[in-house]
Structure 1
Amino acid sequence: MSGSRITFLQGQADQPQALDRVIAHVRRQFTCSDLDELRRAERPLFTGIGASYAALSVPVALLREHGIVSQRVLADEIEDGTAGFEVDALIGVSQGGKSSETIAAFKAVRYVPRVAVLNVTPSPLGDLAEMTVDLGNEPDSYASTIGFTGTVVALDLIAGAIAGREEADDPWRDIAAWAEAVRRDAAGVISELAPRGARCVAADVVASGASRASAEEGALLLREVVRMPATAAVTRNYLHGEMESAGGTADTLHVIFGDSREVELARSLSGAGHLTLLVTAQDVGPAENLSVVRLPEAAPAARVVLETIVMQQLVASLSAERDIPIESFVFANDDTKEGGVDPADFLISSPVAAG
């Protein structure tokens, strides 16, 4: 595999089998002694930018659950080093290994081991790292499908290795079958809400815990693919005033991930006339303004993958309703990737870029 570009829709279709490949590929890397120093980390600091930063909610949540000091930080916040952080391993994520901010962070930090989590190898970020964990050069779409969910898998396996997780607690055994089933179920639910959803002018995506990764990636996909202003919010913070923006308009889409306070939140929003999609493992029925996608009971990391699959289906459907080609990005920012952006990765539709 070459890490080549595929379409978003192809990424959706290929994802279940790709996830199985990624799981096997990452596990093989942990059979070698090359990652022994990573396993011994006691204060890992995770860094990335964009979707990679979103994915970092997953290992941080797992490690804290096991009593291991862990946090995530945007890569541009440590471009001058990690002063102010207690850290014995820096784990940087960049699917293509070219994110300029993460590369700058790795260049600034040399007194702790640097671990690059990548899809594409070799890469500039990998060249700076003492250790690498890669997904196996899986083909991915520009608005990432397999690259993001595969990164979530890799980060969970890294965190599990650091935490000393028992093999019996590995959450990935059924992921391919779950991914197929969830996408199929989500397609049916979303087909009914998509016409109204496409008319919405903004979206809120709400979750807590590890599922903050799903909310942040979901908001990013709505912005990238559907060109809909979208905000990711943490459940309890959303309740403390952020949700009040829904009070004056019925044209905001609400996507809620969760099983506890999130269920009541979804009912409150839909009861007030707001289009709401609840993604939950609870037995919750649909209602007026409320659509529900049911998930299987799964560990937090596997759940993030399934929630992301629902979001991918949502943005694909809304993009089709709005007649926006998924691969047509508006802005090509040359300073976000080392070596600049490859125009072949997507269709540049910005009048400025085209001119």
Structure 2
Amino acid sequence: MSASRITFVEGQATQPQALERVVAHVRERLAQAGLERLTGAERPLFTGIGASYAALAVPVATLRAEGVVTQRVLADEIEDGTRGFETDLLVGVSQGGRSSETIAAFKAAGPVPTLAVLNVTPSPLGDLADLRVDLGNEPDSYASTNGFTGTVVALDLIAGAIAGRADDPWDGIAGRVSVVRAGAAGVIEGLRARVARCTSADVVASGASRASAEEGALLLREVVRMPATASVTRTYLHGEMESAGGTLHVVFGDGREVELARSLAGAGHQTLLVTTGEVAPGEDLAVVRLPACAPAVRVVLETVVVQELVAALSDERGIPIESFVFANDDTKEGGVDPADFLIASPV
């Protein structure tokens, strides 16, 4: 069985129900025999590439908050093995299970136990892994919607299992996603024409929301073809923000991020702040309010906002969503599936 391909817009529309299914499926999967070994992991190492690597900011933040020694590393950095990391569990993420770099990392893992987190089963990465957690072959778009947010859900549940968390924060996720999407759509509709004229984008966040920033920058590149960079809040303050000019600034957060967004907007730079705080919008400051929630849930909701933004900008710029320009045949085992491009680019 394999996940079916849907359009980006279909992914947005079906995401609330898809995430409810993922929550139920992963909870059930984690309760099965064999996965109790997760509770014994003391130094998990997380790896992936692209959007999968971005999602790994979530379990790393969750586990560090619980005092667990962990980190994420790009899969191509451990294609020669895990020496120097002192890990007792290698967790590899690849939604389709075919990312060549993550497969190479698993082949080089040696005696270190491996856990594959994927959507599609069966898959080459899953076949290599000692343990597997899948999302249930959820339909997904080529520029990922359900696959990315579902992976965030799964990674948080896995981190909770490793840390021995008593419960999880995912009940009612469908309703939260629907409400946030509706609110974001109204805000973004009012600024889409101005934002579409921006020549680049900076996406800024800290903590677990670094996943949102990295995925946001990737989607702006993939879908809108807008050069975009993800930055960490404190690093952005140390000089990176000086290049502002013709730039869209997307800022996630409630702390120093609020004043950062106000500073950028006050200098005349188009800024979108996604926050749980009560922040008044301004001429160059648009604000999307989120409900108070756990960091991992927040990442899903922040990603929903970004998805709405890139869909609107793609439409405003007249760029068919997922009409990818480059098909790199060496990034997926078995090569690129031409069917992905047929559904993405019907014209």
Classify the TM-score, shorter chain. over 0.9
Q: Aligned ranges for residues 140-155 of structure 1 at < 5 Å? A: 140-155=140-155
- 1:218-268 Cα distance to aligned partner (Å, 9 max, x none): 00000000000000000000000000001xx2x100000000000000000
Aligned with 2:204: secondary structure? strand
Match of 1:209 in 2: 207
Match of 1:78 in 2: 78
Give 2:328's aligned amino acid: N
Match of 2:114 in 1: 114
Match of 2:9 in 1: 9
Give 2:285's aligned amino acid: L
Match of 2:254 in 1: 259
Give 2:132's aligned amino acid: T
Match of 2:172 in 1: 174
Q: Supply the distance in 2 between the matched residues of 1:54 and 1:257 (Cα, whole angstroms).
A: 15
- Which structure 1 residue ranges, 4+ long, deviate > 3 Å from structure 2? 347-350
1:220 aligns with 2:215: no
Q: Supply the distance in 1 between the matched residues of 2:320 and 2:155 (Cα, whole angstroms).
A: 31
What is the aligned-residue RMSD (CA, Å)? 1.2
Seen in structure 2, the aligned counterparts of structure 1 residues 297 and 126 have a Cα distance that, compared at 3 Å, is: same
- 2:194 aligned to which of 184, 192, 196: 196
Q: Percent identity?
A: 77
- 1:58-87 Cα distance to aligned partner (Å, 9 max, x none): 000000000000000000000000111010
Question: Contact 2:57 / 2:208 at 8 angstroms: preserved in 1?
Answer: yes
Question: Contact 2:2 / 2:122 at 8 angstroms: preserved in 1?
Answer: no
What TM-score do the two structures reach when normalised by structure 2? 0.98
Shift of 1:349: 10
Question: Contact 1:329 / 1:348 at 8 angstroms: preserved in 2?
Answer: no
Match of 1:353 in 2: none
Mean Cα displacement is larger for which, 108-117 or 140-149?
108-117
Q: Supply the distance in 2 between the matched residues of 1:348 and 1:230 (Cα, whole angstroms).
A: 25
Q: Supply the distance in 2 between the matched residues of 1:174 and 1:293 (Cα, whole angstroms).
A: 20
Question: Contact 1:95 / 1:120 at 8 angstroms: preserved in 2?
Answer: yes
Q: Supply the distance in 1 between the matched residues of 2:206 and 2:342 (Cα, whole angstroms).
A: 35
Shift of 1:348: 10
1:325 aligns with 2:320: yes
- 1:255-283 Cα distance to aligned partner (Å, 9 max, x none): 00000000000000000000000000001
Question: Contact 1:329 / 1:347 at 8 angstroms: preserved in 2?
Answer: no
Question: Contact 2:5 / 2:142 at 8 angstroms: preserved in 1?
Answer: yes
Q: Supply the distance in 2 between the matched residues of 1:261 and 1:73 (Cα, whole angstroms).
A: 27
Gaps of 5+ in 1: 351-355
Shift of 1:286: 0.7
Q: Supply the distance in 2 between the matched residues of 1:26 and 1:34 (Cα, whole angstroms).
A: 14
Shift of 1:2: 3.8
Shift of 1:172: 0.6
Match of 2:44 in 1: 44
Match of 1:292 in 2: 287
Q: Supply the distance in 1 between the matched residues of 2:219 and 2:34 (Cα, whole angstroms).
A: 35
Q: Supply the distance in 1 between the matched residues of 2:201 and 2:342 (Cα, whole angstroms).
A: 25
Q: How many residue pairs are counted as aligned between the two chains?
A: 345
Question: Contact 2:321 / 2:344 at 8 angstroms: preserved in 1?
Answer: no
Shift of 1:174: 2.1
- 1:329-348 Cα distance to aligned partner (Å, 9 max, x none): 00000000000001110249
What TM-score do the two structures reach when normalised by structure 1? 0.96
Give 1:225's aligned amino acid: V
Shift of 1:110: 2.2
1:137 aligns with 2:132: no
Q: Supply the distance in 1 between the matched residues of 2:142 and 2:344 (Cα, whole angstroms).
A: 14
Question: Contact 1:135 / 1:154 at 8 angstroms: preserved in 2?
Answer: yes
Q: Supply the distance in 2 between the matched residues of 1:116 and 1:30 (Cα, whole angstroms).
A: 13
Match of 2:93 in 1: 93
Question: Contact 1:332 / 1:348 at 8 angstroms: preserved in 2?
Answer: no
Seen in structure 2, the aligned counterparts of structure 1 residues 31 and 285 have a Cα distance that, compared at 3 Å, is: same
Aligned with 1:346: secondary structure? helix
Give 1:34's aligned amino acid: G
Q: Supply the distance in 2 between the matched residues of 1:290 and 1:297 (Cα, whole angstroms).
A: 21
Question: Contact 1:327 / 1:347 at 8 angstroms: preserved in 2?
Answer: no
Match of 1:67 in 2: 67
- 1:6-52 Cα distance to aligned partner (Å, 9 max, x none): 00000000000000000000000111122021221000000000000
Give 2:308's aligned amino acid: Q
Q: Supply the distance in 2 between the matched residues of 1:270 and 1:181 (Cα, whole angstroms).
A: 26
Question: Contact 1:140 / 1:147 at 8 angstroms: preserved in 2?
Answer: yes
